[in-house]
Amino acid sequence: GGVEIPPDLLEGERKVLILVGSQSGNGESLAEEAVKLAVLGHLNAEIKLMDAATVDDFSGCLRLLIICSTWGEGEMPDNAQELWDAAAASKVDLSGLNFTVCALGDTAYEFYCQSGKDWDSRLEEMGARRVYERVDCDVDYEPPWKSWVPNALGSLASIDEAGNFSDNMVGAFAEMIMPSKKAKVIASAAGVVQPEISVSVKVFRYDPVLSEQGWDTYACTVPGHLSISQMLTSIQETQDGSLSFRRSGALCGLSVNGRPILADSCRVVDFVCGDSDSLTMSIEPLPGHDVIRDLVVATDSFENRSLSAKSWARTADRIGHRTMQGVVMGTMDISTSVNLRGVAAMSSPQLAQSWSDSLPYDGKYLGPAVCAQLWRRYLDPRTSEKARTDIMKTLESEGGLWNETDIAAIGRHGAEGHALAKTLYDCRAELLRLNKFTGKHGRHVKWFSRTVKMFGDVNETILPAMVSGPFGMIANGRQVLRMMTGFTRTGGPMLRDKQALFMPPASIGKMPPLVKLPARNHHEVVAIFNELDKRF
């Protein structure tokens, strides 16, 4: 900016202590970024996790940057609790300390960024000087962080060795620290790099403050090999900084052209629609979850379902083996371990929940991911018998696996979807074996599932024959014969069929076709049968 920084301001150690309290690791990644940026402001930054720090670190420090997340109902993260308790009880005078705070949180919770707010107010109470205002970051923390960190570090850089604060130097340091936007280099290999494509991207938007929703359209020209997440980042950096989404990990799921995917794992070129001259893409939040803002969804619905299902490990006592080091530990057969690992192996349970056609319309349903987790617990030889019994009761009861109307729909979502569908089929087969295939009605269910649920057609001769058994077929031979020869659909007198041709009501003696054409939404048809008899 043309402002010359006095040499005496750059004398001394220029040390900055970055204290991190984090539960998920986001705080550590921001701290590592801050260390790199601090060098640009002639600062020597040191990261220390809060569980490795003491109150004495405050009193011996000139510059302090705190990055702290909030856990649960406004609680400190686990690695920050001990230091916070000590600071809350301490009477140390911190008048020589200069600080600023970055608070991480989630607006979906009542006590948003409470831990960071507590540190901010407590340090001020202890006499420390706040050189730059605290920033409160939501789940999409990068935009506010990027706009805040240059001025925060610039303020700390404007403090000389004696502790004097030169506020007129903040802007100069901030300009030096400001991260520049550089072209991202994608690691390439033969067949990986794709040419640039122009695509019109239609993005769902939701503002929780104004309770408004709608769509924005962005014109983008990006390399085809970029991930969906990288393309959205480009939109955020160059066109609309207010766009909110999760960039990576198990929670970055989106619905792209109606397909639930992980945004950091799918290429743009694989999801565009239309001609080469008019490529389009539609991006929505992940279905089956409440929307927090734009493309960011709340994951508490999955967590609450998993909690209500008690999907955690409940083990039985078993014989252990003593290692060479003298430690007793449990062991498992290798083949059992490998097979168990393949059950419910999902890169993102939240994404797997959205593969269900039923979950968005059934508030009681646990969801496919939770049911698969329960089934894996059931198969685990370490699980206690009581827990196994409870698991099968949960899967059998209202909200369990029978609420899934069409497992086949889950199998259409790639290799993971196919594996998850197989897991659910295996679980449902065991439920049928334990509870369903008993008595006359059990046979009805069995043969119904082998006809309409597998092929979409009802075999009207085989179905009543298998339900009633051989003696029933003989006792009702005339009706069965009429059905086989196609004279009547009801087994009633043939005169009724002919009567319908000459006099009303035409419905007498007639029955509409049961299932003759493929259903567009097959899961809805099955849901009707499920309501009639849950054993379907």
Q: According to the model, what pLDDT value does residue 40 have? A: 84
Residue 515 has pLDDT above 70, yes or no: no
**Whole-angstrom distance, CA of residue 232 vs CA of residue 214:** 17
Q: Hey, what CATH class is 196-297 in?
A: alpha beta
Q: How far is CA 140 from the centre of its chain?
A: 14
Segment 178-196 shows an average pLDDT of: 51
As a whole number, mean pLDDT of residues 490-495 equals 52
List, in sequence order, the alpha helices (H) in 47-107: 56-59, 81-89
CA distances for 27 relative to 59, 111, 141, 328, 396, angstroms: 23, 18, 10, 36, 42
* Beta bridge mates, 99: 64, 130
Tokens 């049911």 belong to which residue?
371
Cβ proximity of 12 and 20 under 8 Å: no
pLDDT > 70? residue 425: yes
DSSP category for residue 404: -
Q: Quote the CA–CA distance of 46 and 25 in Å, as a whole number.
A: 17
pTM of the full structure: 0.50
Task: Calculate mean pLDDT across residues 219-232.
Answer: 92
pLDDT above 60 for 508: no
Split at pLDDT 50, 70, 90, the class of 532 is low
Domain boundaries, the chain: 7-177, 196-297, 300-317+331-434, 439-532
Superfamily holding 300-317+331-434: Alpha-helical ferredoxin (1.10.1060.10)
Give the angle subtended at the CA of 154 by the CAs of 149 and 159, to the nearest 5°.
Answer: 135
Predicted confidence (pLDDT) at residue 203 exceeds the cutoff of 80: yes
Rounded Cα–Cα distance for residues 390 and 379 (Å): 13
User: Considering all CA atoms of the chain, what is the largest pairwise distance in Å, rounded to the nearest integer?
Assistant: 111
Residue 284 to residue 293: CA distance in whole angstroms? 11
**Is 477 a residue whose pLDDT tops 80?**
no
381 three-class SS: coil
Residue 216's DSSP bridge partners are 203
Torsion angle, CA of 117/118/119/125, rounded to 10 degrees?
Answer: 110
Domains 196-297 and 300-317+331-434 fall in the same CATH topology? no
Backbone angles phi, psi at 444, to 5 degrees: -60, -45
Query: What's the average model confidence in pLDDT over 90-114?
Result: 90
- Percentage of the chain modeled with pLDDT above 90: 34
Q: What is the pLDDT of residues 374-420, one digit of tens each?
A: 999 999 999 999 999 999 999 988 899 988 888 888 888 888 888 99
pLDDT in tens, 430-453: 887 787 655 444 555 555 555 555
Q: How many C-beta atoms surround the C-beta of residue 54 within 10 A? A: 14
43 near 153, Cβ under 8 Å?
Answer: yes
What is the model's pLDDT at position 445? 56
pLDDT in tens, 245-297: 998 888 899 999 988 999 999 999 888 888 777 889 999 999 878 899 999 99
When computed from its CA atoms, the radius of gyration of the chain, rounded to whole angstroms, is: 32
Cis peptide before 505 (omega within 30 of 0): yes
Which 3 state secondary structure label does DSSP give 40? helix
User: Phi-psi region for residue 258, left (φ > 0), alpha (ψ -120 to 50) or beta?
Assistant: left
Where are the alpha helices (H) located in 285-353, listed in sequence order? 300-308, 334-342, 349-353
Q: Write down the residue that tokens 């006095």 correspond to.
A: 6
Cα separation, 118 vs 191, whole angstroms? 52
Task: Please state whether beta strands 98-104 and 129-130 pair in parallel, antiparallel, or not at all (unpaired).
Answer: parallel
The most confident of the ranges 179-188, 224-233, 334-343, 517-526 is 224-233
Tell me the DSSP string of 412-462: TSHHHHHHHHHHHHHHHHHHIIIIIS-HHHHHHHHHHHHHHHHHS---TTH
Q: Is 301 exposed, middle or buried (0-12, 13-18, 19+ CB in 10 A)?
A: middle
Cβ pair 17, 61 in contact under 8 A: yes
Residue 476 burial by CB count (10 A; 0-12/13-18/19+): exposed, middle or buried? middle
User: Is CATH 3.55.40.20 the right assignment for the domain spanning 7-177?
Assistant: no
Of 285-289, 353-357, 404-408, 483-487, least confident by mean pLDDT is 483-487
Higher local confidence (pLDDT), 161 or 502: 161
